[in-house]
Structure 1
Amino acid sequence: MAGGSAGRSGKGGYLKLVVGGGASEGGAAQGGSPATAAAGSDPTAIDPRAAGFPESHAAPWLRACRKLEGAGYGDPVVRAYRRASLACAPLVGPGAAVDLADAVSAVTIKAGREAGQGLSDAAVNAAHRAKTPQLFLSWVNLMQRLAALAPESIGAVLERTDLLLGELGVSGLDSWAMAGIRAGGNDPARRRAFFTMADPEAERWFHRETGEVAFLEVERRMRAYLASLFDVHLPLIEAPAHLPPARRRRTSFNPAMIQVPGAYPGYRGEQAVDIYRAALAHVGAHLRYSRERFPVGALKPVQVAVVSLIEDARVETLAIREFPGLLRVWLPFHIAQSTGVTTAPSLFARLARALIDPDFTDIDGWVRKGRDLFQAHQGALEDPAMSRHIGNLLGNDLGQMRVQFNAKSHIVEPPYRDDNAGLWHFDDDMMEEAESELATEAFSLREQDGDTDPPDREREEETRPDEPMGRAAPDETAAEREGWLLGRYPEYDYVSGMEREEWARVLGFDPPDGDGARADAVLARRRVEVDRISALVRSSRVSRARRMKRQPEGETLDLDACIEAMTDLRGGDSPDPRVYQTMQRRDRDLSVQVLLDVSQSTADRLPGRGDTILDMEREATLMLAHAMAAMNDPFAIAAFASNGREEVRYLPIKRFEEPFDRACRGRLFGLQAGLSTRMGAALRHGARDLAGAGTYRRLLMVVTDGEPADIDCPDATYLVEDARRAVQSIAHSGIDVFCIALGDADEQVLGRVFGRRNMARIDKISRLPEKLPLVYLRMTA
């Protein structure tokens, strides 16, 4: 890629360039000065002032060159710096060019000589993009951080510098790079997959940083749109990253599924939503009106392409007859003009517009013939054979016109139309293999969408409120066979100061069935504590304070009663002495969501006892739940653990609408310890469940024995700050969050997450069942 080239190469082409990559060879072409060309020689033989360095920076530049020479990094590294610094000085200033030397040294130490040389080569492109010393040095600092955090991946980023900066800018590149670091965690292979775009997450986050709308953001709306328009309920899947770029940029379908681009490059905001709507409406039209696939037979590739174009127009015409508003959905994307070079792609786009836009005129004879043939067959639109008939004629004409057609590079236009693979019975082995892969993915999706799913999965889809703190999603991926998708939630990165939307995935899991008799035995053994907790709960009043007027005593005067009393006195009557008013809570108006940490550490046994931390969590929760159930308080219980951001396990034990019966008690005592503690995602999902409770007071109570941590987070502060951000967001929505810290849990860390006033520490875990009621009263005071 030439250093000075634009970031895009046509709409949608830049992602291909990202994957292909390539910085300019040394970047010398960017500078072009004689001093730059001679920069491979001894720097003392170069006059830095002639290369754009003022007198004040000439000596520092020479010292920087000698410092790199003396460090033993090798001639290629030193020569690359000389060349790059001389080219960068006129663009971003001599000071920034000199400072680049320290970054080259740091990157070489962290990631090797090749990376150090690559930094210099990429710096020329970065200088052209940045244009100011501040932005240029921000990019340099980012590369230093990336070399320290992901030395195996810095080369892939440097190769794509011109494109990445052109699309994302420095701040967007910073955000995208930090997303890659977080996604890869401690795994160099996963980090490299992200930065080389082999990981679909990288492309998804790239689109997000460019402002493009990812399919994930509109999937639920598009499912509903397709179902309501054409009664189509096929699984929608995002195009896999391993497909060729051309196949990822268009929709595709078969009888089992619909494949959708992860994003439409160049389309942002509502325009992106519009093209997804247009694309799925077009596929829906095919599914309704293209009843059987065409056999390829002896057709040439150009004839296949033209027949497909006519079939696209046929099904759209039929759909517009049934739903006239679809013309407004499709027509804005037909932008071909009747002028320009006569090539196959140009003629195809012009014909496509001529067949849908009645106001479009074209002087080309081939386009006019196509429109005339199509109009002549309006009475035969119900018969797909007309598409093959017209397409054959027009395809033969193109052959006689000697118009070149490259089937391998052909991409259907306009971009909302599908790749036409679903219209044909191809004999090509590669196509059959590709369709087999897609069918396998579709089968996996259908397997999860089937009737064998737990009934609560449907409830999660139906009762999902629109909460700002996270977007719940239907079960749409074949992620874990045991679990089902409950929602995708953001995570806060304290380094970049931003929330990454839909970063953590919460999966629902059915808790193992336990023995309800064990719970009954605990209630019998702890009858005294159970009765005491019940009495305390009954005595508490949690509701809106109501004004009680005409009271014999109170905090303030009841003005109405005072006026009446004075009237009585003046009339000679005895006044009513109840002239006060007070605020009282007369009943209970509280809902509670209890979240139990069941990570591996809760399997630890208590000193001198055979009980585990989890045993005490079960017993304490059982006793409190028993009392709240007796008072008919709405409450729910769930447990959580995690195995990385893609698998935050959420185990519902009791939902708000369920009775706390023997089955719930059995699930509580069937809990098993394991995995890690990704607390933020669990808090956000628990709050989403609690948000729908129509009570005055809503309380989210977390019981944990440790601070947030997970296997893919080497940065101990990251998940702590994310959980803190989650607590703040939940509190702003009107939900109180309280933590009960057990045993050796880090009080300072949990105090930062929840706030000192919103947590209680119980050192002696064996006393949790008797301490919990006091904590509960403190929370509901």
Structure 2
Amino acid sequence: MQEAATLNAFEGFPPEWRERWSAAHGRIDHAGYGDLVASAYRRAGPSLAMHAGPAFAVELASAISMVAIRSGRLAASLVPQAALLAARRFDATAMRAWAAAVEDVARRAPEAALPLLENTGRLVTALHAADFIAFVRMGLHLSGGNVDRRRAFFALESGEAIRLVEGRSADGGLAEWRHGLGLYLSALWGIAPPIAEAPPDAPEQMRRRPGFGGGGVRLPAVFAGFEADEAKLLYRAAVAHIGAHHRFTRTKFAAVGLKPLQIALVSLVEDARIETLAARTMPGLASLWRRFHVARPDGPPIAIALMARLSRALAQPDYADPHGWVEKGRTLFAEAIADNIGDQQLSRRIGGLLGNDIGQMRLQFDAKAYIVQPAYRDDSMGIWDFDADESQAPIEIEAMLEGARIEQHAGDDGRREEGDDGETATGRLSEARDDDGLLVARYPEYDHVIGRYRPDWCRVREMPGQIGSARSATALSEVRSDLVDRLSALIRASRISRQQRVRGQTEGEFLDMDASIAAMIARRTGEVPDTRIYGRYERRSRDMSVLVLIDASRSTAESVHGSESSVLEMERLSTALLGRAMSAVGDPFAIAAFCSNGREDVRYTRIKDFSHSLDGFAFARLAGIAGEYSTRLGAVIRHAANDLRRQRSHRRLLLIVTDGEPSDVDVDDRHYLVEDARMAVHELGRDGIDTFCVALDSEAESYASRIFGPRGAISINSIDRLDKLLPAVYMKLRS
């Protein structure tokens, strides 16, 4: 008996590993961690050896010791079972990384080890090995030393943790396909609304079903229970259905006086109507949608089940259902669409009749538990008008009204998206206002540690700014006129515009066909032909808009190398000189300043807009800029880009004047804001907006070349070098 038990204890261990296994669990047995920890390791060891290899089973003793010492016995007792769960998903190399991550959490965030181990099953099911490591790094990096925040993250109680887990499902999810879905929706229906995940703290109905409203589309982070290929088709079916609503549901239905059951039934019939219309022009959509109708005719005769069966009956002509209510709905629908399928009110009439029948049958409808079937259909909140006083809406659907309030967001991949009105959705640009009455926009931020964007991470507030003294404003408007003249001459000489064809040249890049034909006719008639039969491409004017963005952070109080002037003083003066030069030649330009005090307080001050002149008031605001707080560069780059996107110039330039050191009070990773700013520059490049940095040479370490590229930045330490700046900018723009 004892011999059998001994053999079982070594199962999975080759003979050469048995002695090392005995030594490993012997150390845990005698370490004083208690029998709970020791017995958990002894029981799991053989299975770990079979799944992850004997070497890993032996090495796990180190992780158990670290967790026991730093996080306690209970957490240590969970390590072997958590390792078994991970070993069923990860290979041997990934398992070593998993154990190292657990040790790292125990070492740096002892309070987080227990919730991490408790949630290992869910994490390894949803995440690939690399994503699991990224999840751990993000939790440690995000917390900033806040114990409660760390524990909530690893306990999957924070919205960001839930979004990361649900959005990076190993079986595929919205994070993987968001961009492709936007292209698919645009190709089908010619619209490009922003696509966002359902908020992690939203009601379950919202998180499990698509929705739309307010110019945006909301989709679940994942469709649970669907394999990768099927889930991708399900997402396509969902956005195709929402696009059909956009095209064919012309007005919202009035919800006043209707019960939740009637709203659900009218929505069901309207879903069938718009899909029928869509399939008439794109028949392939019908087969895409039908594959997800799985209701069976032998289901229980309850209201929710009958509604799913009716949905299938209206979508699939060959589906037979024995229930009279389902067949009545099919007959009413067939008659109505044959008469006038374009009449949206037919859905209201049929839904009302069918709702009365449900009431006559005494069937209960639980609106709180109702989830639209099939899975690709939206929650229908986007097609209903619940009146201005939403407090009068039925309490059963009150929690679902958020589906009709989606605001514009950026995609997790940072690409520009547009709503129906053509406004950019790179950030949330709603007319939201904070307690001080200031315009607010939210933007994503790129986290280089996890390789993903954090949606809606930064809040930009537009501040009114301060007014400088009249003497300072006058000085900025009058000083160094000689340099302004030189800069104006450089700008006039530039040719940043669309190329134009210049015809009638004696030599050139192409034949001027009209002149060539005229010359040939003249030659054949005995006349002397005109030899100016060529043409070439030239830029004969300028067509460029410039936004000058000034760093107004505390670090700009430092002195410029070799000068008694501060960085901020040189910024004011160089911006004034550039502005006066551009104003003299009539080029459109704007000026703004920025600083930040954490991600929720990024401040943006407009000095001069494109539509305003460079007057005394603009100089006074420029003189009033004071260096304070920090430099969160990526968020203000994205915010300033929104103004440039509205310009219709051939080239659009964001010219940033800074000391080149991004930083903020809530960031301790020196590379974090640098990488986010670099990604923001790439985003602008994809939108056809050029960026250039004037890095004023100060004591601060400059990251300009990393952010803007070697040809996208120039360092100067004297105002007299401004006339060297413009050729560098124009060379970049003409390349």
TM-score (norm 2): 0.71
| Aligned counterpart in structure 1 of residue 254 of structure 2, from 266, 291, 300 | 291
| Aligned counterpart in structure 1 of residue 446 of structure 2, from 480, 488, 491 | 491
Please tell me whether the aligned partners of residues 660 and 695 of structure 2 are also in contact (alpha carbons under 8 angstroms).
Answer: no
Question: Any residues of structure 2 matched to 1:667-706 within 5 Å, and which?
Answer: 667-683=621-637, 686=640, 700-705=654-659
What is the CA deviation profile of residues 686-712 of structure 1, one whole-angstrom value per residue up to 9, with x for unaligned ones?
Answer: 567668878898765433346222233
Please tell me whether the aligned partners of residues 574 and 719 of structure 2 are also in contact (alpha carbons under 8 angstroms).
Answer: yes
1:120 aligns with 2:80: yes
Please tell me whether the aligned partners of residues 546 and 588 of structure 2 are also in contact (alpha carbons under 8 angstroms).
Answer: yes
1:103 aligns with 2:56: no
SS at match of 2:319: coil
Using the alignment, how far apart are the partners of 2:400 and 2:629 within structure 1? 33
1:275 aligned residue:
238
Q: By how many angstroms is 1:53 displaced?
A: 0.7
Using the alignment, how far apart are the partners of 1:165 and 1:111 within structure 2? 21
- 1:520–1:325 distance in 2 versus 1, CA, 3 Å: same
Q: By how many angstroms is 1:52 displaced?
A: 0.9
Question: Any residues of structure 2 matched to 1:710-725 within 5 Å, and which?
Answer: 710-724=664-678
What is the CA deviation profile of residues 44-85 of structure 1, one whole-angstrom value per residue up to 9, with x for unaligned ones?
Answer: x84476421112222222222233345443332333222232
Please tell me whether the aligned partners of residues 518 and 669 of structure 1 are also in contact (alpha carbons under 8 angstroms).
Answer: no
Please tell me whether the aligned partners of residues 727 and 737 of structure 1 are also in contact (alpha carbons under 8 angstroms).
Answer: no
Q: By how many angstroms is 1:713 displaced?
A: 1.9
Using the alignment, how far apart are the partners of 2:632 and 2:232 within structure 1? 32
What is the CA deviation profile of residues 188-243 of structure 1, one whole-angstrom value per residue up to 9, with x for unaligned ones?
Answer: 434444444443333333343234226997999999999999xxx9x999755444
| Aligned counterpart in structure 2 of residue 391 of structure 1, from 337, 346, 355 | 355
- 1:445–1:603 distance in 2 versus 1, CA, 3 Å: farther
1:173 aligns with 2:132: yes
> Counterpart amino acid of 1:205?
L
Please tell me whether the aligned partners of residues 554 and 628 of structure 2 are also in contact (alpha carbons under 8 angstroms).
Answer: yes
Q: By how many angstroms is 1:533 displaced?
A: 3.9
What is the CA deviation profile of residues 105-155 of structure 1, one whole-angstrom value per residue up to 9, with x for unaligned ones?
Answer: 33344444333333322111111122x212322332333344445444343
Using the alignment, how far apart are the partners of 2:685 and 2:353 within structure 1? 66
1:662 aligns with 2:616: yes
1:561 aligned residue:
none
- 1:444–1:273 distance in 2 versus 1, CA, 3 Å: closer
Please tell me whether the aligned partners of residues 297 and 309 of structure 2 are also in contact (alpha carbons under 8 angstroms).
Answer: no
Question: Any residues of structure 2 matched to 1:552-563 within 5 Å, and which?
Answer: none
SS at match of 1:338: coil
| Aligned counterpart in structure 1 of residue 481 of structure 2, from 530, 539, 543 | 530
SS at match of 2:318: coil
Please tell me whether the aligned partners of residues 355 and 374 of structure 1 are also in contact (alpha carbons under 8 angstroms).
Answer: yes
Identity %: 30
> Counterpart amino acid of 1:97?
A
2:373 aligned residue:
413
1:707 aligns with 2:670: no
1:342 aligned residue:
300
> Counterpart amino acid of 1:535?
R
1:740 aligns with 2:700: no
Using the alignment, how far apart are the partners of 2:385 and 2:542 within structure 1? 63
Question: Any residues of structure 2 matched to 1:123-142 within 5 Å, and which?
Answer: 123-130=83-90, 132-142=91-101
Please tell me whether the aligned partners of residues 267 and 347 of structure 2 are also in contact (alpha carbons under 8 angstroms).
Answer: no
What is the CA deviation profile of residues 712-742 of structure 1, one whole-angstrom value per residue up to 9, with x for unaligned ones?
Answer: 3222232234445555776797846334234
| Aligned counterpart in structure 1 of residue 114 of structure 2, from 155, 159, 162 | 155
- 1:318–1:291 distance in 2 versus 1, CA, 3 Å: farther
| Aligned counterpart in structure 2 of residue 312 of structure 1, from 267, 286, 301 | 267
1:332 aligned residue:
290
What is the CA deviation profile of residues 142-173 of structure 1, one whole-angstrom value per residue up to 9, with x for unaligned ones?
Answer: 33344445444343333232232222221233
Question: Any residues of structure 2 matched to 1:601-680 within 5 Å, and which?
Answer: 601-602=555-556, 613-645=567-599, 647-656=601-610, 658-680=612-634
What is the CA deviation profile of residues 425-484 of structure 1, one whole-angstrom value per residue up to 9, with x for unaligned ones?
Answer: 9xxx999678777879989989x9xxxxxxxxxx9997767xxxx935542766776554
Q: By how many angstroms is 1:293 displaced?
A: 4.1
What is the CA deviation profile of residues 314-339 of structure 1, one whole-angstrom value per residue up to 9, with x for unaligned ones?
Answer: 44466578876699579437512435
- 1:750–1:310 distance in 2 versus 1, CA, 3 Å: closer
Q: By how many angstroms is 1:407 displaced?
A: 6.9
> Counterpart amino acid of 1:708?
P
Q: By how many angstroms is 1:587 displaced?
A: 7.6
- 1:606–1:725 distance in 2 versus 1, CA, 3 Å: closer
- 1:722–1:394 distance in 2 versus 1, CA, 3 Å: closer
Using the alignment, how far apart are the partners of 2:52 and 2:431 within structure 1? 48
SS at match of 1:715: coil
What is the CA deviation profile of residues 256-303 of structure 1, one whole-angstrom value per residue up to 9, with x for unaligned ones?
Answer: 99995554525755742541453586699889474344565xxxxxxx
Q: By how many angstroms is 1:596 displaced?
A: 1.5
TM-score (norm 1): 0.68
Using the alignment, how far apart are the partners of 1:180 and 1:584 within structure 2? 56
1:572 aligned residue:
none
> Counterpart amino acid of 1:717?
H
State the aligned residue count: 663
| Aligned counterpart in structure 2 of residue 596 of structure 1, from 550, 558, 564 | 550
> Counterpart amino acid of 1:743?
S
Using the alignment, how far apart are the partners of 2:692 and 2:216 within structure 1? 42
Q: By how many angstroms is 1:679 displaced?
A: 2.1
| Aligned counterpart in structure 2 of residue 357 of structure 1, from 316, 322, 328 | 316
Please tell me whether the aligned partners of residues 381 and 401 of structure 2 are also in contact (alpha carbons under 8 angstroms).
Answer: no
| Aligned counterpart in structure 2 of residue 512 of structure 1, from 465, 469, 474 | 465
SS at match of 1:153: helix
Using the alignment, how far apart are the partners of 2:634 and 2:381 within structure 1? 44
Please tell me whether the aligned partners of residues 24 and 61 of structure 2 are also in contact (alpha carbons under 8 angstroms).
Answer: yes
Using the alignment, how far apart are the partners of 1:114 and 1:490 within structure 2? 37
Please tell me whether the aligned partners of residues 180 and 195 of structure 1 are also in contact (alpha carbons under 8 angstroms).
Answer: yes
Q: By how many angstroms is 1:508 displaced?
A: 5.5
- 1:281–1:189 distance in 2 versus 1, CA, 3 Å: farther
SS at match of 1:51: coil
SS at match of 1:509: strand
* Superposition CA RMSD, Å: 5.5
Please tell me whether the aligned partners of residues 194 and 201 of structure 1 are also in contact (alpha carbons under 8 angstroms).
Answer: yes
Unaligned runs of 5+ in 1: 1-33, 39-44, 297-303, 449-458, 550-557, 559-582
- 1:120–1:741 distance in 2 versus 1, CA, 3 Å: farther
SS at match of 1:203: helix
- 1:222–1:669 distance in 2 versus 1, CA, 3 Å: farther
| Aligned counterpart in structure 2 of residue 68 of structure 1, from 13, 28, 42 | 28
2:207 aligned residue:
248
Please tell me whether the aligned partners of residues 560 and 696 of structure 2 are also in contact (alpha carbons under 8 angstroms).
Answer: no
Using the alignment, how far apart are the partners of 2:174 and 2:73 within structure 1? 38
Please tell me whether the aligned partners of residues 237 and 289 of structure 2 are also in contact (alpha carbons under 8 angstroms).
Answer: no
Q: By how many angstroms is 1:353 displaced?
A: 1.4
- 1:195–1:47 distance in 2 versus 1, CA, 3 Å: same
SS at match of 1:653: strand
